[in-house]
Amino acid sequence: MVDERGNIGMGTNAPHPSALLDVDAAALPAAGKRGLLIPRMTTAELTAIPSPATGLLVYDSSLNAFWYFDGTVWTPLGGGTEVDPTWDGAAVFAGATWRSGDVGLGMTAAPNSKLQVVGRVFIDNSTFTHAIAGNPALTADGALGEDIMRIRDVGANNRLLVTSGGFVTPTAILDVNGKARSTAIYGFASSVAVYTTNSTVLVNHAGLVITLTVQASDLIKVDCACNLSNAVGTNTTYLTVANTAGAGAWVQTPNLIVSSGTGIHGGYSTGIFQASADGNVTFQAQWRVGGVGTGTAQNCNITAVVIGK
């Protein structure tokens, strides 16, 4: 029936004043009780409704849950199958709605990355197993050729602690409590052969050359040791190290090994080079004589090691 206010009553002649539609099953027999059937549809059909009204209610048969439109997005009314949010790198899917944009946790402003977290993050894999060998709590994959992780120290107490047991206070930007292992970037070459030169200007020593693959700003320590002599007792033989290929500059210029006279004299040349670009850098021994006479080099070696940035 329809009362004088225009309210509709089903199963009652006195619909509640606040209800446009009042459905009352009280008068129905126990075996004949019936309910109100809300429109049913799949998630795909729900999200395809054009311009849904605020407050529109439907039953999602894909998720077995009631959903209503809050004026902006579809929102679960409660109950049904719990739906975990998923993220495809561009948007978050929360049940029936793709929420475009980045993801922010612990913040009210819009995030500026795919995932931005303000506050502490705790990772515990004690009860979780996945397909990665060793079941690591945190895995980063630099397959795109980008830096896997950068840690920037912007304050006096911003430090990273790596520990094999117990929490302790780090005392440096990187504090390792336990064993640490890294792979060194190095190269070496050696020669026991006898080389000679009559050049009075520096020329390359063919047996002492090495090439390293480095990154921009890498510091490379270059060392060369060699036994030198000269055929003329009053003449001198010189040897040093040069950067013959690759971009960069010497931070510490290698010294000259100086050998005077006919006797064999051992010497050592060392320098520090800083690369200015990613790629290969080549170092080679160079040598000359001081005047007349033939210089001799034998039992020599050259090494280069990346020592930092």
Question: Can you list the domains of the chain with their CATH numbers?
Answer: 150-179 (no CATH), 186-308 (2.60.120.40)
251 residue type, one letter = V
Instruction: Answer yes or no: is pLDDT of 305 > 80.
Output: yes
| Short-list 152, 197, 171, 211, CA closest to 296 | 197
Tokens for 202, please give them. 């520096």
Instruction: Answer yes or no: is pLDDT of 105 > 90.
Output: no
Dump the DSSP string for 205-233. Answer: EEEEEEEEEE-TT-EEEEEEEEEEEESST
The mean pLDDT value of the chain amounts to 81
Work out the pLDDT band at 269, boundaries 50, 70, 90: very high
Residues 23-44, mean pLDDT to the nearest whole number: 88
pTM for the model stands at 0.51
Work out the pLDDT band at 95, boundaries 50, 70, 90: very low
Q: Residue 183 has what pLDDT?
A: 76
Residues 19-38, mean pLDDT to the nearest whole number: 85
Work out the pLDDT band at 130, boundaries 50, 70, 90: low
Strand duo 219-230 + 257-260: pairing: unpaired
Distance, in Å, from the CA atom of 99 to the CA atom of 84, rounded to the nearest integer, reads 14
Q: Which residue has the higher pLDDT, 233 or 239?
A: 239
pLDDT digits (tens, 9 = 90+) for 154-208: 565 666 666 666 666 777 777 777 777 777 889 999 999 999 999 999 999 999 9
